[in-house]
A and B are shown apart, each in its own frame.
Chain A
Amino acid sequence: MAVQTNPVIKLVEIHKTYHTGEVDVHAVRGVSREILPGEFVAIMGSSGSGKSTLMNMIGCLDRPTEGRYWLDGIDVSTLDRDALADVRNEKIGFVFQGFNLLSRTSALENVEMPMLYNRHRIAAHEQRDRALQALELVGLGDRADHHPNQLSGGQQQRVAIGRALVNRPSLLLADEPTGNLDSQTSIEIMGVFQKLNDQGITIVMVTHELDIARYTKQMVVLRDGKIVTDEKVADRLNAERELAHLKQAQAAVKLE
């Protein structure tokens, strides 16, 4: 590529060791990787492969014991708790497996929540406008007043994605986002991610399901804390098309 772009994520020789009791657990052993803007990466691996630990560090929830990590040009490997909180607030949007919405709190207020913690104050009406925009983006503009218990799992995950996007982060981080969803809803959610990625949003996703990873652009496989495979997704799936197929199939079953 002719145009030089700064990486969103730059990991250099990242290590993470947990000191639990007598045994030291070396969860991540020297991961180096750059992720450029517009990438859509799936991090895969079995449990114990270190993918969750790596994810936590990429998400600035945890610090590496060794190595350097630049996020959007900032060296975050040495920041303190508060500074990491600010980085999470400004640069990262999180989507979790269990949605992690606040119960008995409307979708709109859930989406507004990250803006409460902005270091620069955002006026109440602007918070509202931005939250509504984010909900429109994930196709839930008409459900702003609904509480999580009035929404389906897929809808809850869309609210969570809206919440992750509302502070206009440089990176969207998803941890098994389809783990709690049925296959059709999973495809719908992957469709949302694909749409967002088409708009230029960088997405890193942890998953252990191969057919979900096939909706991303790049697959990184971890084993024993190291990257063992890092390849472009060859037979990439398109969520819209898959969904259409699925609906046809369902319609066919009902006709018979």
Chain B
Amino acid sequence: MRIFASFRIAGRALRRNKMRSVLTMLGIIIGVGSVIAAVSITSGATKQVEDRVASLGQNVITVFSGNFTSGAMRGGWGSAPTLTTGDADAILQNVPNVVAVSPEVRDRAQVLANGLNWNTQVIGESPDYPQIRNWNIAKGSMFAEQDVRSIAKVAVIGKTVADQLFPNENPVGQTIRIRNIPFKIVGLLESKGFNLFGQDQDDVVIVPYSSHMHRITSRIYVNSILVQAASTEAITKVQSDISDLLLSRHRSREADFTVRNQVELMQAATATSKVMSILLAGIASVSLLVGGIGIMNIMLVSVTERTREIGIRMAVGARGNDILVQFLIEAVTLSAFGGSVGIGLGIGASRLISSLMQWPTLTPVAWIFIAFISSAVIGIISGFYPAWKASKLDPIDALHYE
């Protein structure tokens, strides 16, 4: 029997009892709709977190000084200064698959320019910093390796600092005073927005790390070292190579530093939404189960009501299988149509939520397929018993059913 004809017959049978069909579908519609809406919201949130982690740069490994992962009480992050610019040079020269390195020193300082002042984060970096962080220069350029060597008084500033100190002005070429030392602004960074921890990443002044260590603060240790690996696949190897190198350089048995990569950060940040997703999947399967039971119930009623029709079809030559397929297709039509409506409503609801509550939402295409396929599968499963029952009817009894 033709599948197309079966769908037409199914469509007609369902239209015959419009209200009943709609009510039956409602279970699937609500189930699928809430799944799609919930998935959209969680994946929107996850995507936002991922974007922020990605804004840290591509294939970035961070080496922090101080062993703050130990269970014993320690001073905390940076309290045991161990990392030097020499470590950074060694990593660049000795570890394979490292494309860029930037020793990082951080401090807060009052900066002055234009008769205005602003308290901001002043960080020392290498010229590779924008490449590592995947951060473009909007105007001017990044300082050069030469500036690091000559401990030059040059700076690249973020958008927020530029807005505060040079409103409606081009800051490039102007002078900014950091702790009263004049630095020439050579570049303006593109805006990058807030990071994972809610900090304004544009509220920053970047100077050569040598200038930072010798002119602004007088330090011999760096806070951390940013390392860029050649590829995502290389990250794990590079990470362990760095550990080995630093352990031998520091001549210590226990690591006095921590090496972290982005993937770990990402995992930590998305752990919550993973739990949420599992919870949602649980709720979704329960509601879809309920929807499936509804379909099975109605299909059983339908088989009973249409016993005589089944008898007629059998009398004119329908095999048990033809009847089975017909009722299965009817159940699948119900559930798949309900699923489609649910997908539409779910997307609509998540759009509405994102516009009303300013939440980022994202409906993954894969989930639309998953939702559709699973509603069709539910139709097959819950329609099977009633359809099987119909196919086993005796044609004589069915024909004389009142």
On A, residues with C-beta under 8 Å from B are: 56, 59, 61-62, 81-82, 85-86, 88-90, 94, 96, 100, 102, 104-105, 113-114, 116-118, 121, 163, 167
Contact = CB atoms under 8 A, between A and B. Distances in A.
A145 to B, nearest CB: 15
Given A61-B395, A85-B314, A100-B312, A116 B319 contact: no
Contacts of A102: 309, 312
Given A100-B308, A100-B312, A163-B316, A117 B321 contact: no
Contacts of A163: 316
Contact of B399 (A82, A90, A100, A116): A100
A46 B187 CA distance: 109
Report, nearest first, the 3 A-B pairs whose CB atoms are least far apart. A89-B317, A114-B316, A117-B317
Given A82-B320, A102-B309, A105-B12, A116 B315 contact: no
B389 interface: no
A82 B396 contact: no
Contact of B316 (A56, A81, A94, A105): A94
B16 interface: yes
Given A62-B396, A100-B308, A100-B399, A82 B321 contact: yes
Given A61-B396, A81-B320, A94 B315 contact: yes
Interface of B: 1-2, 5, 12, 16, 308-309, 311-322, 395-396, 399
Q: Is the interface of B mostly helix, strand, loop or mixed?
A: helix
B399 A117 contact: no
Contacts of B321: 82
Contacts of B396: 56, 61-62
Contacts of B5: 116
Nearest to A110: B312
Nearest to B9: A116
Given A56-B396, A62-B396, A117-B322, A88 B316 contact: yes
Contacts of B309: 102
B83 to A, nearest CB: 77
Contacts of B316: 88-89, 94, 113-114, 117, 163, 167
A59 B315 CA distance: 8
Contacts of A116: 1-2, 5, 318, 322
Contact of B319 (A56, A81, A90, A113): A81
A130 to B, nearest CB: 14
